[in-house]
């Protein structure tokens, strides 16, 4: 699949916004903790990815009904669904000067009906002429997402015969429909009813 930038302006993939609040002190403190002296961009990106994937539980797995959506809140509450965790990882990477995009997948549920969108990120590391998608959702039985530049290691890869769709657009900011659902959800149960099923 060929990934397509929503905007050709690479600066947009380094920008802060209401959800990717990478100028927040907690985001900056986390960057400082994760950054090892002399580490290159790849090492930092891997550390940030593993931090978000492994230390911030996906709220479905943990049973947490709270809905966080702003990167700093995700870091503070250590809670979030895939979209929220993607916002946090995007903020940590952009704060370190690494262009990062938000991207999405769609899947049908167990009944064959459209399910909610899945959120992930794409990173553009120095020296690479391509974007590489990464999935910080969090691993569990049957899910083994890994940081990889050689081949994608997503939570749910979409292969031939799959009922899923990979959306090729790389967004500089959270998709408005996703962000609206996160911001207005009373709890995770309500969020599941309001998240978009397609883009």
Mind listing the pLDDT tens digit for each residue in 18-69?
Answer: 999 999 999 999 999 999 877 899 999 999 999 999 999 999 999 999 999 9
The secondary structure element, H or E, covering residue 106 is strand 100-106
* Cα–Cα distance for residue pair 80/64, rounded to 1 Å: 8
Do 196 and 177 contact (CB within 8 A), yes or no?
Answer: yes
Residue 197's CB is within 10 A of a number of other CB atoms, namely 14
DSSP state of 141: T
The mean pLDDT value of the chain amounts to 94
**Burial of residue 63, with CB atoms counted within 10 A of its CB: 0-12 exposed, 13-18 middle, 19 or more buried:** exposed
Please give the model's pTM, rounded to 2 decimal places.
0.96
Residue 39 is predicted with a pLDDT of 82
């Amino acid at each position: 699949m060929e990934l397509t930038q929503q905007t050709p302006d690479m600066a947009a993939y380094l920008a802060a916004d209401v959800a990717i609040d990478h100028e927040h002190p907690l985001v900056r403190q986390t960057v400082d903790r994760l950054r090892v002296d002399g580490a290159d961009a790849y090492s930092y990106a891997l550390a940030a990815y593993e931090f978000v994937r492994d230390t911030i539980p996906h709220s479905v797995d943990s049973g947490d009904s709270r809905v966080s959506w702003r990167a700093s809140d995700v870091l503070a509450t250590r809670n979030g669904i895939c979209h929220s965790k993607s916002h946090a990882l995007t903020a940590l990477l952009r704060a370190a000067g690494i262009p990062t995009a938000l991207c999405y997948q769609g899947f049908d549920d167990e009944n064959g009906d459209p399910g909610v969108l899945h959120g992930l990120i794409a990173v553009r590391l120095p020296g690479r002429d391509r974007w590489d998608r990464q999935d910080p959702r969090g691993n569990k039985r049957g899910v083994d997402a890994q940081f990889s530049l050689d081949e994608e290691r997503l939570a749910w890869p979409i292969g031939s015969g799959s009922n899923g769709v990979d959306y090729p657009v790389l967004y500089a900011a959270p998709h408005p429909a996703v962000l609206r659902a996160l911001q207005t959800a009373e709890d995770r149960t309500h969020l599941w009813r309001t998240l978009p099923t397609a883009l």
